[in-house]
Structure 1
Amino acid sequence: MANVLAALAAALVVLLACCFCGVRGDESPEVRDSLIKFLTALAGGDDQAALRLGWNASIDPCRRGNVSSLWGKTVGCFGSDSGNDGFIKRIDLDAVHGLTGTIDAALLCAAPAVRVLSVRDNGLRGGIPEGISACSGLTHLIVSGNELSGDLPASLTQLKSLHVIDVARNNLSGPLPGDLSKLNLDRFMANDNHFDGTIPDFNLYQLENFTVSNNNLTGPIPENAEKFGNQSFWPNAAGMCGTPLFDPCPSEADDGNGKNGKHKKRAVPKIVMYLGYVLLGAAVLAFVLYKICSSKKKRSNKLGLKSKPSRGKGVYDSSRLTTTTTTTTTSVTTPNKSAAYSIPTSAEHSVAAAGAASAVAPPSTSLVVLRRSGTASPITSRAAAAAAKDLRFEDLLKSPAELLGRGRFGSSYKVVVPGGAALAVKRVKDAAVDEAAFRRRMERIGRAKHAAVLPPLAFYCAMQEKLVVYEFQSNGSLEKLLHGSIESSQGPLDWTARLHIAAKVADGMAFMHTTLSGSDGATSNNSPSSGDDAAATDGPIAHGNLKASNVLFTAGMDPCVSEYGVTSPAGGDAAALRGDVHAYGVLLLELLTGKATSARGDGAELARWVTSVIREEWTAEVFDRALLSGGGDGSSEQRMVRLLQVAMRCVDASRGSAPPPTMREVAGMVNAIREEDDRSFSLEA
């Protein structure tokens, strides 16, 4: 029995050794020879094409030391970080002169490890062969910008690992295979062909890029089509339909196999579900309003307060929190002067409901103005400084206000005060921080001036209510520029612009971390306040909520960080400072990938996606395509990779990883990349 077990153990060791050798072995000569024949077919039978590209069956492109060869520059390999000692997984033959032949799937699929075929912008003819399904591990099929014809083969749907299909700008025709919608695709680009029939029922919510424009397609568009806009579907045949991009499709059901019937069946339970939500919401709202009215009545009776009519409306009046201004008279409750002012927490809910109760007006001394001198900071305009000089709380209440947005920590409004200056008011929700601590924090932040940090002009602090006033920045946020609506005068952000934004934000955050920690001292022209002694013991102040929507653009399109310290925890919390570094790393990932963070806003999902791509040694797939469209000698791409490494150091929280850098260290690394980029630009000029 012992001999049998020993024999089995020896066999297992040999088997594992063979498996290991198979994973880390060299690409076989048969595979290399097959790929050279594949390239010859792409070149229309020109057997000199392989020689021109350095493809040589006697040289293994994946073996250590051969990666820098011409053969190694047009293929990518599995293996170590240096890309060797593995199998060929990627073939890059984009815009290669002389590729006017056909795609031979049998020769390509002889390389079982191949994951990506990219032959865009050549002159390939013929079609996409049915045999492409034999490349079972294929994840990217990129054949755009050729002269391919025929149908899109249905066998593509057998490639369960396929994530990217780019067949744009060819002469392909026929219907799109319906089962394409069952693949877990990230990108599907089929524009500028001659496809007809209907669009498969793609789950557009999970796709990052999608376009079928400039074809002969007809019928209903998929759900969530508004995510990509009209330009991804039009022009097509006249029968294209579906709201909100086109006219509604006919309401009658088709033969049962089309989409109209399916959409109609799907719409019925959704309508019932939404109706239930509406009724439930109305019941909850009615109960909340009842409790509010009851508590206000009891409190008024207890304090002996009386109500009187007033025409003052402003930030808290729900009729003023839209772009439309009315003059309806509303009733507010004026508290006894001896009573402490406190805006009810239900005021936030009142904002969301039309006709809800308005808030109580506090005395004019409640607003702490940080810029009474009227002098502008490096980022504040003279108009805003002048408005802040004489700013009173009544001005905010009586001025028309427009709701800008709601977030996890409160709402923001645009308020135009007397004199025409536009201000932004941040209303902090459920701020449980001590009033004295919040006051000291805002005063310290107001004294620390940096061109990349938007300073507060004033603030209001009560038991359950915190307001912070800034100058309104009309050019919007980085979030809208990257992921939202872009003005017609603004094109996509290029590499230089994104690097500039990254460096400016890093400088501002590093300055605030250092200055507010007391190590360099606050730069202030104001005389110390009575709370400075206490403030000196408070320690550094973190931003607490750094994200793309809080990076705004000044009139000169320079980035600045808004809402600094508004939601920061009290005291010198090292974890909060590390949280700022992590948030900045997520911001870098958004700049580099062009992808938005999830609704949670912590960037964990984006960081996981980037990590998974890097582990597969697909670093180039991480970057936003707008960054890679400029061409060049590759030096910019190298700096992108370096900035990506900085981002990953900021977000890496895995066990055993090195401690994250400080914001000062991060700013130093980013500025070193920017200085190198500036020198490279000067040399090119």
Structure 2
Amino acid sequence: MDSRYLLFLSIVSIFSVATHAVSETESLLKFKKSLVIGKTNGLESWDDKKNPPCKWIGVLCHRASVWGLQLENLELSGSVDIDALMGLKSLRSISFMNNKLRGPFPEFKKLSALKSLYLSNNQFDVTIPKDAFDGMGWLKKLHLEHNKFSGEIPASIVRSPKLLDIRLDGNRFTGHIPEFTHKPLKLNLSNNALVGPIPKILSTMDQKLFEGNKGLCGKPLDTKCYSPYSISQEPMSNPKKKSSKFLYILAAVVAALAAILIILGVIIFLNRRRKKKQPLLSAEPGPTSLQMRSGFNESERGQGSYHSQNRAAKKMIHTTKLTFLRDDKENFELQDLLKASAEILGSGCFGGSYKTLLTNGSMMVVKRFKHMNNADIEEFQEHMKRLGRLNHENLLPIVAYYYKKEEKLFVCDFIEKGSLAAHLHGNISLGQPSLDWPTRLNIVKGVGRGLLYLHKNLPSLMAPHGHLKSSNVLLNEKFEPLLTDYGLIPIINEEKAQELMVAYKSPEYLEQSRVTKKTDVWGLGILILEILTGKFPESFPQVDKESEEDLASWVRSIFKGEWTEELFDQEMGKTSNCEAEIVKLLRVGLSCCEVDVEKRLDIREAVEKMEDLMKEREQGDEDFYSTYASEADGRSSRGVSCEGINLS
């Protein structure tokens, strides 16, 4: 009976897979009919009689399901049949770049699970509906550049919560720039017909991203914005009327200033009187720069009798003090931070980060943590002392911290070069050079060394870092990596840690709900693959609720054991004679990403392999340059070094 049942299940499984394949085949063939194929006939392979869909040109598959369409440079025209694509349930990425598509804007919002959409360099000349992207909660990359889109930028773009990369340049968009509620990592609006002030949240971006819009004003452009009330609307007027009008305005301004001075005098008088009556420590200063930006208050507002206020004031002497973890820094007070000018750097998983300039000239970063109540005050302080004792060239030390029950502040040095994530994914759109191969290899080595140090010095933690990702790796002036946000697992609220931290996205946690000593190694492996491929780890489609296809699975599906050019980041620059090194590092990354924890490298093995690779590289450079020097008399030359510099 059991054997019959198993046979029945096998038949059902085979039938369902076959049905799924037929369904996707029908969807793709129906979609093909809506297109006008160019002379090159790039879709010739789309024939259900010859090959399954996963063998067709431009069809990307995972586990026999279509997750991407990459139909680029095929001279396709006609319209896009979205209804046909709805039959592809696992579809997450679409690229129709460099074709001749036009007509009404397709209803991509019907594909609500889509993560990437590329329509660059086509011939769309329509206005995009305002609700064109409503419901596309997973959309992360949207490229519409170099078409002829007109009208206002659709408001639904702003409502897409996960958009990281937006390109709208080279179109005919008009109207104002919408108010983004989150700052995209990449945004290009150049060469349109936009007008009005640039939203404040975008004011720190490169001005090149807004050039070509004659009507735009405000930072980062050099064009100032003027109020419509500051310019007279009368084309011509009598000089006498102008002078009398000027006198009226001058009198009104003088009267207003006098009234303001009187009000200020009254306020100062009342404040002085109140301060004389109240204890010094119970006085409540107005909101400071950092308070206004972050919403952070340095103490609880006391209520009750005079005696209870006095007790609260005495307690505040302790609670408003910063606790310093380093002796090599000049001490400062919490008030010095709160009074300093603050600039928002970004909003992370647990709270915002703010850059502050102290009066002594020091540039500091204040990180605000809201979900850090997993330990009581004694345990928290003990853990912070342990973190404060850490000292390694690849760790960004915590200078000081502030404890409050509801939220905490961490104070660190400001690192000018910013995060590895920005250099891998953001700086190119700002016109800045990407990281070359030697720099990337050096960064990986430093990250490994820092991680090994954490594992040696925090042996009681299952995942001493726990939150390793490219945005938590900063680069100093020499592009040496500095790890941040390490050692947080013991003090972060467990439910928030499981929701947000990298360690809890590992295969062992998704499958077995456990974190091991090798969980950080998995994070290191994903980081290595991100550095080599230039791909966002978060940009891969979720297959089911228990597990998701990570970057490692995607790499394994393409990597066949040897150099594969399309696998690696094209922004890495010249890699002549470096292919063997890059492939070796890729193998280390994949060994760190083994789903089976027992087969996965431990942190020491991973670092040793990277150190060996660095030694081989340095030895290779020495051999190369010694050979080159000995042959420089003209007899012969070996040609090109690993960096791709022609020395012959």
* TM-score, reference length from structure 2: 0.54
1:144 to 72, 75, 92: 72
2:290 to 316, 320, 333: 320
Q: Distance in 2 between matches of 1:516 and 1:441?
A: 10
Amino acid aligned to 1:168: M
1:646 to 576, 585, 591: 591
In the alignment, which residue of structure 1 is the partner of 2:449?
507
2:392 to 437, 450, 468: 450
- The yes-or-no answer on 1:175 pairing with 2:97 is no
Q: Distance in 2 between matches of 1:420 and 1:231?
A: 36
Gaps of 5+ in 2: 19-37, 180-188, 196-277, 493-502, 504-513, 540-544, 622-640
Structure-2 change in CA distance of 1:410 and 1:137 (3 Å): closer
Structure-2 change in CA distance of 1:560 and 1:418 (3 Å): same
**1:32-52 Cα shifts (integer Å, max 9, x gaps):** xxxxxxxxxxxxxxxxxxxxx
Structure-2 change in CA distance of 1:462 and 1:166 (3 Å): closer
In the alignment, which residue of structure 1 is the partner of 2:225?
none
Q: Distance in 2 between matches of 1:186 and 1:540?
A: 33
- The yes-or-no answer on 1:556 pairing with 2:478 is yes
Cα drift, residue 453 of structure 1:
0.4
**1:97-150 Cα shifts (integer Å, max 9, x gaps):** xx9854463785542314255589xxxxxxxxxxxxxxx98765545346x364
In the alignment, which residue of structure 2 is the partner of 1:87?
none
Q: Is the 2:395–2:482 Cα contact (8 Å) retained in structure 1? A: yes
In the alignment, which residue of structure 2 is the partner of 1:422?
363
Amino acid aligned to 2:473: V
Cα drift, residue 559 of structure 1:
1.8
**What's the Cα RMSD here?**
5.6
In the alignment, which residue of structure 2 is the partner of 1:236?
171
**1:260-295 Cα shifts (integer Å, max 9, x gaps):** xxxxxxxxxxxxxxxxxxxxxxxxxxxxxxxxxxxx
Cα drift, residue 151 of structure 1:
2.7
Q: Report the 3-state secondary structure (helix = DSSP H, G, I; strand = E; otherwise coil) of the residue aligned with 1:425.
A: strand
**1:571-625 Cα shifts (integer Å, max 9, x gaps):** xx99575554444445445544532649xxxxx9995343664675578799575
Instruction: Please list, as runs of the form range in 1=range in 2, the aligned pairs for 1:82-481 lying within 5 A after superposition.
Output: 101-103=40-42, 105=44, 108-115=47-54, 117-118=56-57, 141-145=69-73, 148=75, 150-152=77-79, 154=81, 157=84, 160-161=87-88, 164-170=93-99, 172-175=100-103, 178=106, 182-183=110-111, 185-199=114-128, 201=132, 205-219=137-151, 224-225=156-157, 232-237=167-172, 243=178, 310=283, 317=287, 319-322=289-292, 360-362=316-318, 367-372=322-327, 374=328, 388-392=329-333, 395-396=336-337, 399-402=340-343, 404=345, 407=348, 409=350, 412-429=353-370, 430-431=372-373, 433-460=375-402, 467-481=409-423
- The yes-or-no answer on 1:668 pairing with 2:596 is no
Instruction: Please list, as runs of the form range in 1=range in 2, the aligned pairs for 1:11-50 lying within 5 A after superposition.
Output: none
Cα drift, residue 560 of structure 1:
0.4
Q: Is the 2:173–2:194 Cα contact (8 Å) retained in structure 1? A: no
Q: Report the 3-state secondary structure (helix = DSSP H, G, I; strand = E; otherwise coil) of the residue aligned with 1:470.
A: strand
Cα drift, residue 211 of structure 1:
2.8
Amino acid aligned to 1:595: F
Amino acid aligned to 2:535: G
Cα drift, residue 451 of structure 1:
0.9
Q: Is the 1:113–1:137 Cα contact (8 Å) retained in structure 2? A: no
Q: Report the 3-state secondary structure (helix = DSSP H, G, I; strand = E; otherwise coil) of the residue aligned with 1:645.
A: helix
The number of equivalent residue pairs is 459
**1:459-506 Cα shifts (integer Å, max 9, x gaps):** 455777755432222333334444567784633445554443332122
Q: Is the 2:146–2:170 Cα contact (8 Å) retained in structure 1? A: yes
Q: Distance in 1 between matches of 2:404 and 2:173?
A: 61
* TM-score, reference length from structure 1: 0.52
What is the aligned-residue identity percentage? 23
Q: Report the 3-state secondary structure (helix = DSSP H, G, I; strand = E; otherwise coil) of the residue aligned with 2:549.
A: helix
Q: Is the 1:112–1:137 Cα contact (8 Å) retained in structure 2? A: no
Q: Report the 3-state secondary structure (helix = DSSP H, G, I; strand = E; otherwise coil) of the residue aligned with 1:193.
A: coil
Q: Is the 1:542–1:568 Cα contact (8 Å) retained in structure 2? A: no
Amino acid aligned to 1:557: F
Structure-2 change in CA distance of 1:438 and 1:208 (3 Å): closer
Cα drift, residue 421 of structure 1:
0.9
Structure-2 change in CA distance of 1:454 and 1:643 (3 Å): same
Q: Distance in 2 between matches of 1:502 and 1:550?
A: 13
Cα drift, residue 544 of structure 1:
4.4
Q: Is the 1:514–1:540 Cα contact (8 Å) retained in structure 2? A: no
Q: Is the 1:322–1:401 Cα contact (8 Å) retained in structure 2? A: no
Cα drift, residue 403 of structure 1:
5.3
